[in-house]
Amino acid sequence: MLSLFTLVHDINDPFNFDTSVKNKIQLITYVDRIGCSGFKELNSLLQNELDGLFGGIHVLPFFHPIDGEDAGFDPIDHSLVDPRLGDWSDVKSLTATLDVMADLIVNHMSSESKEFQDFLEHGDDSKYASLFLTVDSVFPEGPSKDDLQSIYRPRPGLPFTEYKLSDGSEKMIWTTFTQKQIDIDVHSESGSTYLESMLKTYGKAGISMIRLDAAGYAIKKAGSSCFMIPETFNFIDELTQKAKKQGIEVLVEIHSFYETQMEIAKKVDFVYDFALPVLVLDCLFNSNAKHLKEWLRIAPRNAVTVLDTHDGIGVVDVAGFEGKPGLIPDKELDVIVEQIHKNSEGRSRKATGAAASNLDLYQVNCTYFEALGKDETAYLIARAIQFFAPGVPQVYYVGLFGDDNDMELLERTNVGRDINRHYYSKEEIRKKIETPLFQQLSKLMRLRNNHEAFNGIFGLKQTTDEQLLIQWTNNQDSIALEVDLALKKFTIQGINGSGKQLLMKVP
């Protein structure tokens, strides 16, 4: 059987990868933000209203609590399903019918966790003392100015927070993201035990894939950037091997220079294609597929493709780095970012950078639909390109409905990423699935899930830069996407022993 990750270059050079994960679209969602009160209702939604659209689901953090400082990415107890959503038996019921991915938050835990609270109470005498990273554990003689300047930061300021212990002493704790997200020492015995216990819990629940959240920041080393250093690669490799023993595949979440992604892809089961969202915007904004085609020729084949996620639209993934050119020249990238802000009528600007808390220096916070100026045809073209790109596609729950920025939620929380983290009611879901956009997108998704050609060989055909022609071939079955960027339209044709058949045309 041919792998879904087989690529045909212009010189017919194949790349082969094997995976047990279904070659079907996956949903990315929070349990409680898609009109569901818990896992039981989510399972029902997937088996009924959304039946046939997904072969898998990435369930965003469902641990205790789901409503912490960072929407579940700051777990107090990583081993406990938030009781408001259900329990591990409910998770197992979901894994019985779909591939389920869960987040393994490897870099940090909540400051309210029992482990950190015990450390604050007992200091170095705490049995959890070695679990947490202090500044002096990384810099025994104190960090120099050069040390501090070398540290790569996803947000402004230094990655440390001063905490007072019960005896009155103070410790400078490593906090890469926020003051309430306490970094753990993954190389300590307690850190290793903590992560391995989670893998065992996931394995028992039938989780088929984990997403290593913030893995790029997990290793701290004096004199380095503390981000994606050689030791980080080793850590990811070691954790991947441990996951495999539990029957779990690994997706690594890294926003970084594209060559770094390509290197990581050699060591794990899957990487995100975070370059694709901006490259598709580039295509549609400029009616030119040149940069996208160059990427599709070299991109890792063991990819999970996205246009939108619970985070922002990544910019660093296509930008230049340390004098090396990126996938899009930086000046052109600046224009694309400005076009997003223009298309959203400035709403994305209110959620990006210094305009909102929980800052991400390398992302634009905006729904993908608004980034395209709420142009439904352009949105369907974008999804068609994603579904025909090599990899397993994921669709974010807000993107599933092609929705607007949630300015109310942003105003209420002042967290930039909340602009794209809407809480849907059951009534909203009912109305959304009746819209023409959802019906068209559903048709496209069913084609991607069910056509046998997608289990075959990927081909990128020679065209002008205003056109894009992608074809998948599996023995006698073939399916082709032809996009005319100048006229903003696409067709999908199937080819088998009976000849050609028009499967979809937009507009």
Query: Taken in order 276, 282, 287, 288, is the CA torsion positive or negative?
Result: negative
**Catalytic residue status for 263:** no
378 — alpha (psi -120 to 50), left (phi > 0) or beta? alpha
Residues 271 and 305 sit within 8 Å (Cβ to Cβ)? no
- Alpha-carbon gap, residue 28 to 369, rounded angstroms: 16
Report in angstroms the alpha-carbon separations of 223 from 23, 150, 174: 42, 7, 16
Q: Which residues are annotated as a binding site for substrate?
A: 70, 108, 211-213, 253, 310-311, 360-363, 417
- Alpha-carbon gap, residue 474 to 457, rounded angstroms: 6
Return the bridge partners of 394, or none.
26
**Catalytic residue status for 69:** no
Phi/psi for 466 (5° steps) reads -85, -5
- Alpha-carbon gap, residue 225 to 144, rounded angstroms: 13
Q: Which residues are annotated as a binding site?
A: 70, 108, 211-213, 253, 310-311, 360-363, 417
> Which among 213, 273, 317, 403 is annotated as catalytic?
213
Count CA atoms closer than 13 A to 371's CA, side-chain side.
30
Element (H, E) at 380: helix 376-388
> Which among 115, 253, 282, 308 is annotated as catalytic?
253
86 — alpha (psi -120 to 50), left (phi > 0) or beta? left
- List the structure tokens of 316: 């660093």
Among residues 452, 429, 433, the alpha carbon closest in space to that of 441 is found at: 433
Residues 369 and 402 sit within 8 Å (Cβ to Cβ)? yes
Report in angstroms the alpha-carbon separations of 405 from 122, 213, 438, 487: 45, 24, 17, 27
The three-class DSSP label of residue 445 is helix
Beta-strand relationship, 99-105 and 56-59: parallel
Residues 111 and 193 sit within 8 Å (Cβ to Cβ)? no
Residues 284 and 378 sit within 8 Å (Cβ to Cβ)? yes
Among residues 102, 231, 120, 105, the alpha carbon closest in space to that of 165 is found at: 120
H, E, C per residue of 5-57: CEEECCCCCCCCCCCCCCCCCEEEECHHHECCCCHHHHHHHHHCCCCCCCCEE
Is the peptide bond between 14 and the residue preceding it cis, with omega within 30 degrees of 0? no
Active site residues: 213, 253
